[in-house]
Structure 1
Amino acid sequence: MGSSTHYRAMAFEGNFYIGYLSKTRGLKGELQLFFEFDDYRALELDVLFLAIDRKLVPFFVTQCKLQSNRTAYVFLEDVDHIDQAQPLVHKQVYLPESKRPERHPDDFRITDLKGFTVHDQLHGELGEIIEIHEYPQQYIAVVPYRFNELMFPLNDEIIRAIDREKQLLEVALPDGLIDVYT
């Protein structure tokens, strides 16, 4: 999402993908974990499963510091030097399905709008939201529109109504926004 190198996660039965190790930090084997799993704050990170040679290898986490930018700094058991940490960079990280955080059915998030059809008060139907980018101050929806990618913020000024049953998002886009894309 925020990173330009997007990894297509391998499928491992009974496990779910949470992100990848993006870089080392310091000389003592500390690694940065970049989360591609939205609900990362609710994850229990006592053991991480790394995809190595098409297998999942468990690593016990001895220390974990969650950061605000979808990352965490982790120390793994028996990885106490940069030379041991370096080969783990870019490895995909998984957790067992049993550790997936449960969401209440009423827990609707702005990122759940992906796949919704956008209907503008003035311009009518614009298309389907194919991506939602998360930035520090706001979420931005991406809709393919007339051979371009129309982007607009998802906020209270723009959103008029959300129909979860029909998967419809009604918006009032600012004057001139659509013209920028046509």
Structure 2
Amino acid sequence: MRQDDCYQLGEVIKTHGLNGEVGILLDVDFPNEYQNLESVFLEQQGKLIPFFIDTIQVNNNKALVKFEDIDSLDSAKTIVKSKLYLPLSSLPSLENGQYYFHDLVGCEVFEEKSKLGDVKEVVDLSGNQLLVVDADDKEILIPLKDEILISVDTINKKIQVSLPDGLLDIYND
């Protein structure tokens, strides 16, 4: 499985107890939808390795997980800080007009007919989601707000925005 074919589910943040359980921080909108996971991919030395789940208990955005073959504190320590991934194909389908953040990466961003740049990534800073747009080797941060995003076309990879007055001036020298 390639990382490009997956989305990040979360990260192993700590060990729990002596029998190999670990605490997971889930980086998803609806953590309870992952209560019945059977397996995940863990990033180990740059590769995605499948890990099968014995038990999982989800509580808000955290989960307590016991993986098969991770039976001691020492073996659990080896996976702390590992990122967890699931295949993109496992994502629930969305209603018309909805999108996942990873769908926005690579989209061209326009204000009226003027191209501002291409979306490099979407970041979440304390609950404020921002488009990181590469505009002629400058990085522009655009808030993901309904009043700013006029239209999002993930099929044609185009986003139309209406920026607040002065936003672009911040990035001009």
Cα gap change, 1:107/1:67 in structure 2, threshold over 3 Å: closer, same or farther? Answer: farther
**1:23-172 correspondence runs (5 A):** 23-28=13-18, 29-34=20-25, 42-43=33-34, 44-50=36-42, 56=49, 58-68=51-61, 71-77=62-68, 79=70, 81-91=72-82, 93=84, 100-104=90-94, 106=96, 108-109=98-99, 111=101, 112-121=103-112, 124-172=114-162
Aligned residues with identical type, % of pairs: 27
Match of 2:165 in 1: 175
The range that moved more, 44-53 or 151-160, is 44-53
1:25 CA drift (Å)? 3.8
Gaps of 5+ in 1: 1-9
Cα gap change, 1:149/1:40 in structure 2, threshold over 3 Å: closer, same or farther? Answer: farther
1:125 CA drift (Å)? 1.3
Cα gap change, 1:125/1:32 in structure 2, threshold over 3 Å: closer, same or farther? Answer: same
Q: Say which structure is richer in strand.
A: 2
Mapped to 2, the partners of 1:50 and 1:38 lie a distance apart of 20
Aligned residues: 167
Gaps of 5+ in 2: none
Mapped to 2, the partners of 1:72 and 1:25 lie a distance apart of 12
- Code of the aligned partner of 1:178: L
Q: CA RMSD in A?
A: 3.7
TM-score by length of 1: 0.66
SS in 2 for 1:157: coil
1:119 CA drift (Å)? 1.1
1:61 CA drift (Å)? 2.7
